[in-house]
Amino acid sequence: MKIVVNRPRCEGHGLCEEAAPQLMHLDDDGELVLDREEIGEADIPLANAAVRVCPVAALRVE
Amino acid sequence: MTDSAPPVSDLDLFDDEVLVDPYPSYAALRALGGVVRLPANDVYALTRYDVIRDALGDWEIFSSAGAIGFNPAVNEALSGTSLASDPPVHTRLRATLTANLSPRALRGLKKSIDAKADALVGELVAKGSFDAIDALARAFPLEVVADLIGFTGHVRANMLRWGQAAMQVIGPMNQRTAECFPIAGELYDWCSNVTADDLAPGSVGRGIFEAEARGDIPPGTAGHIIHQYLGAGVDTTIASIGNIVALFAAHPDQLALVRENPSLVPAAFNEVLRYWAPVHAWGRRTTRNVEIDGVLVPEGAKVAILFGAGNRDPRHYENPDEFLVERNPIDHLSFGYGPHGCAGQGLARLEAHAVVEALSRRVARLVVGTEVRVPSNITRSIEELPVLEVVPA
pLDDT tens figures, B362-388: 999 999 999 999 999 999 999 999 999
Average pLDDT, chain B: 95
C-alpha span between B173 and B187 (Å, rounded)? 19
> CA nearest B267: which of B276, B258, B279?
B258
Closest by CA position to B181, among listed B279, B255, B74 = B74
* Percent above pLDDT 90 for chain B: 83
- What per-residue confidence (pLDDT) applies to B2? 57
Which CATH class, in words, describes the domain spanning B16-392? mainly alpha
Distance CA B243, CA B380 (A): 10
Q: Which residues contact B236 (CB under 8 A, 6 or more apart)?
A: B167, B278, B279, B348, B379
Q: Work out the average pLDDT over B79-87.
A: 91
Q: How far is CA B237 from the centre of its chain?
A: 6
Partners of residue B103 in chain A, C-beta under 8 Å? 11-14, 30
Least confident of A26-30, B269-273, B305-309: A26-30
CB contact under 8 A, B339 and A55: no
Chain B interface, best mutation among A6, A56, A59, by max B CB count within 10 A: A56
Residue B3 has pLDDT above 80, yes or no: no
Tell me which of A36-45, B52-61, B263-272 is least confident: A36-45
pLDDT tens figures, B301-339 = 999 999 999 999 999 999 999 999 999 999 999 999 999
Lowest mean pLDDT of B139-148, B224-233, B312-321, name the range.
B224-233
- Mind listing the pLDDT tens digit for each residue in B4-20? 999 999 999 999 999 99
Mean pLDDT of B290-294: 94
Residues 6+ apart with CB under 8 A from B14: B41, B70, B171, B172, B174, B377
**Cβ–Cβ gap B103/A13 under 8 Å:** yes
Strand boundaries in chain B, DSSP class E: 35-38, 43-46, 62-63, 130-131, 282-286, 290-292, 295-297, 302-305, 363-368, 386-392
Q: What CA–CA distances, in Å, run from B72 to B171, B187, B341?
A: 10, 19, 23
Cβ pair B254, B355 in contact under 8 A = no
Beta-carbon contacts of B212 under 8 Å, excluding residues fewer than 6 positions away, are B218, B219, B220, B221, B222
A49 touches chain B (CB under 8 A): no
Q: Is A33 on the interface with B (CB under 8 A)?
A: no
Give me the phi and psi of B385, to 5 degrees please.
-145, 95
* B115 pLDDT higher than 80: yes
Nearest to B351 by CA among B237, B202, B227, B244: B237
Q: Considering only residues B179 and A36, tell me which one the structure prediction assigns the higher pLDDT.
A: B179
B37 has which bridge partners?
B8, B44
Closest CA to B25 of B15, B279, B320: B15
Domains in chain A with CATH codes = 3-61 (3.30.70.20)
Are the beta carbons of B312 and B321 closer than 8 angstroms?
Answer: yes
| Rounded Cα distance, B6 and B51, in Å | 13
pLDDT at B343: 93
Residue of A nearest to B58 (CA): A57
CA B385, B282, B56, B138 torsion: positive or negative? negative
Report whether pLDDT(B61) > 90.
Answer: yes
In chain B, domain spans = 16-392
Q: What is the ipTM of this complex?
A: 0.92
CA distance A42 to chain B (A): 23
Contact flag B95-A30 (C-beta cutoff 8 Å): no
Q: Is A30 on the interface with B (CB under 8 A)?
A: yes
Q: What is the pLDDT of residue B95?
A: 87
pLDDT at B361: 97
Helix (H) or strand (E) holding B156: helix B153-168
| Partners of residue B131 on adjacent β-strands | B386
DSSP category for residue B7: P
Is B1's pLDDT higher than 70?
A: no
Contact B299, B288 (CB under 8 A): yes
Pseudo-torsion of CA B370, B374, B375, B379, nearest 10°? -90
- Comparing CB atoms, the residue among A19, A30, A56 nearest residue B341 is A56
Name the residue of chain A whose CA is nearest to B95's CA: A8
Assign B96 a pLDDT band (cuts: 50, 70, 90): confident
